[in-house]
């Protein structure tokens, strides 16, 4: 690597030098392992529901045939069954296996090696079959044990099945991980190289603000100091806490920093503010970031470096969100699933973290999208990147990513509210 160049990941690499290659590899695998196991468990629970639904539906339909042949009771060894039972069980297992396979292939093990669906499905079915036998044996064994303390056949079956289910999920997971989907080491992303003397005069940072008096000063300082020549547009919606005055003052000593004062505009909102700023920018690239330091200023350089590699959008993806309460995590996760689904039905560009507000873009490309969809944005919404991507064709648009840690707001007040969730839902399914 050129000595003149620095990478923002150099520190990380230094830290890693002490660890052996094997440890690093194991560490990376283990990191993904927990996530995949959680997803696999969720899929298994969904599978239980699908199984029951398909089984009952088949029974319901078949009983309408009203045929004595179908309802005749067969007895083989200790099993007694009717043809209806057999068909219903087969349909239940079949439906659950197919739905679980698809969810695991595209969700749980989405990044794993892909091979022919038929071979993979066969492997998946073999693992599932072995799991079913294991579950039967375990349930029987645990039930015998539970019967010693719980003297009711039915109540001994419930915990026995539950414990057997958990062990079987783990068994199936391991075999699918190493055999069916052959999960390999997740390779670290290519480090982003930022030349030391890079000029940022072809970049505008856009930051929407509303009453960010405590944050705007420090943000302008950090950005202008760190990135030589960078331009900044503060898109303000009529703050009353001195935000605008600070920007105007800053503009006096650094004309590259501008205030887009939207106080008298008929519509106020984060999305419309950012769109107006994109229209106003006169640089090849732009980067949108919140003003409250939840989007780390040191990542702006990485987004720019990626943009210069030729991406139309570079999404800042939240790899970690420490300190978020469970409910906010849940809402964000749900919104993200809906957002990705919306991108999928729109056959549009997308990224790993569609709900992120930290992103960069090629100015002309975004302007073209905004112009072509004059009614296509929720002005008062919060999800600008999501909407820009929604209107960008999947085929033509190149999307890059930069990971970051989304830390909690330390100064000023949050402006997000439930009305923004409604705005998002309206934008996902117009
Ligand atoms: N121009 C403009 N900016 C806004 C508006 N609402 C919020 N902002 C700014 O948009 C950015 C994101 O808003 P936040 O309130 O931090 O939203 P959030 O990051 O989702 O929520 P927290 O995690 O609670 O901070 C901040 O810089 C706000 O000042 C608005 O209506 N107009
Ligand atoms: Mg915030």
Q: Structural domain boundaries of the chain?
A: 21-180, 202-428
Crossing angle between the packed helical segments 83-103 and 21-62, to the nearest 10 degrees = 150
Q: Judge whether residue 189 has pLDDT over 80.
A: no
Q: How confident is the model at residue 171 (pLDDT cuts 50, 70, 90)?
A: very high
Distance 409 CA to ligand 2 centre (A): 6
What pLDDT, in 10s, does the model give residues 366-378? Answer: 999 999 999 999 9
CA of 201 to the centre of ligand 1 (A): 26
Which pLDDT score is estimated for 187? Answer: 56
Q: Whose CA is nearest to atom 29 of ligand 1?
A: 209
Q: 106-129 pLDDT, tens per residue?
A: 888 887 766 788 889 999 999 999
Homologous superfamily of 202-428 in CATH?
A: Spore Coat Polysaccharide Biosynthesis Protein SpsA; Chain A (3.90.550.10)
For residue 189, the CA-to-ligand 1 centroid distance in Å is 30
**Which ligand is nearest the CA of 270, by number?**
1
pLDDT reported for residue 233:
98
Strand 79-81 and strand 74-76: pairing? antiparallel
Ligand 1 centroid to Cα of residue 429, in Å, is 23
Instruction: Using pLDDT thresholds of 50, 70 and 90, give the confidence band for residue 23.
Output: low
Residue 205 Cβ < 6 Å to ligand 1: no
Q: Which ligand 1 atom sits closest to the C-alpha of 235?
A: 1
Q: Closest-lying ligand to the alpha carbon of 291?
A: 1
Query: How high is the pLDDT of residue 2?
Result: 38
Query: Stretch 281-291: mean pLDDT, rounded?
Result: 97
| Neighbour count for residue 190 (Cβ, 10 Å) | 9
Q: Worst-scoring range by mean pLDDT, 4-13, 228-237, 308-317, 403-412?
A: 4-13
Q: Is the pLDDT of residue 10 over 50?
A: no
Alpha-carbon gap, residue 30 to 27, rounded angstroms: 5
């Amino acid at each position: 690597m050129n000595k003149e160049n620095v990478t923002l990941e150099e520190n990380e690499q230094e830290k890693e030098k002490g660890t052996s290659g094997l440890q690093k590899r194991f560490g990376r695998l283990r990191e993904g392992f927990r996530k995949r196991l959680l997803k696999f468990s969720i899929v298994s629970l969904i599978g239980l529901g699908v199984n029951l639904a398909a089984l009952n539906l088949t029974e319901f339909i078949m009983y309408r045939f009203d045929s004595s042949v179908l309802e005749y009771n067969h007895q083989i060894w200790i099993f007694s069954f009717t043809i209806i039972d057999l068909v219903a069980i087969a349909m239940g297992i079949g439906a659950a296996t197919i739905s679980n396979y698809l969810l695991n292939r595209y969700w749980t093990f989405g990044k794993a090696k892909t091979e022919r669906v038929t071979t993979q499905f066969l492997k998946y079915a073999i693992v599932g079959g072995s799991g079913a036998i294991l579950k039967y044996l375990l349930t029987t064994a645990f039930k015998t044990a539970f019967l010693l303390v719980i003297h009711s056949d039915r109540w001994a079956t419930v915990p026995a099945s539950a414990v057997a289910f958990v062990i079987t999920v783990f068994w199936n997971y391991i075999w699918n991980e190493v055999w069916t989907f052959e999960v390999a080491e997740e390779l670290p992303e290519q480090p982003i190289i930022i030349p030391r003397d890079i000029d940022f005069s072809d970049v505008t940072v856009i930051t929407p603000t509303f009453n960010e008096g405590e944050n705007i000063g420090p943000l302008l300082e950090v950005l202008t100091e760190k990135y030589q020549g960078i331009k900044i547009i503060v898109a303000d919606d009529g703050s009353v806490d001195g935000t605008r005055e600070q920007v105007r003052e800053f503009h006096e000593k650094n004309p590259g920093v501008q205030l887009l004062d939207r106080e008298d505009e008929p519509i106020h909102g984060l999305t419309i503010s950012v769109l107006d700023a994109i229209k106003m920018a006169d640089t090849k690239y732009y980067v949108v970031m919140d003003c409250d330091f939840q989007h780390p200023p040191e990542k702006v350089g990485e987004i720019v470096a990626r943009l210069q590699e030729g991406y139309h959008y570079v999404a800042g993806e939240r790899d970690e969100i420490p300190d978020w309460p469970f409910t906010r995590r849940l809402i964000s996760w749900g919104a993200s699933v809906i957002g990705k689904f919306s991108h999928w039905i729109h056959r549009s560009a997308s990224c790993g973290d569609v709900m992120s507000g930290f992103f960069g873009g090629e100015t002309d490309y975004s302007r073209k999208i905004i112009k072509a969809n004059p009614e296509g944005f929720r002005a008062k919404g919060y999800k600008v990147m999501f909407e820009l991507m929604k209107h960008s064709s999947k085929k033509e648009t190149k999307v890059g990513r930069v990971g970051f840690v989304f830390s909690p707001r330390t100064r000023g007040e949050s402006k997000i509210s439930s009305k923004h969730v409604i705005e998002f839902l309206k934008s996902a399914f117009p």
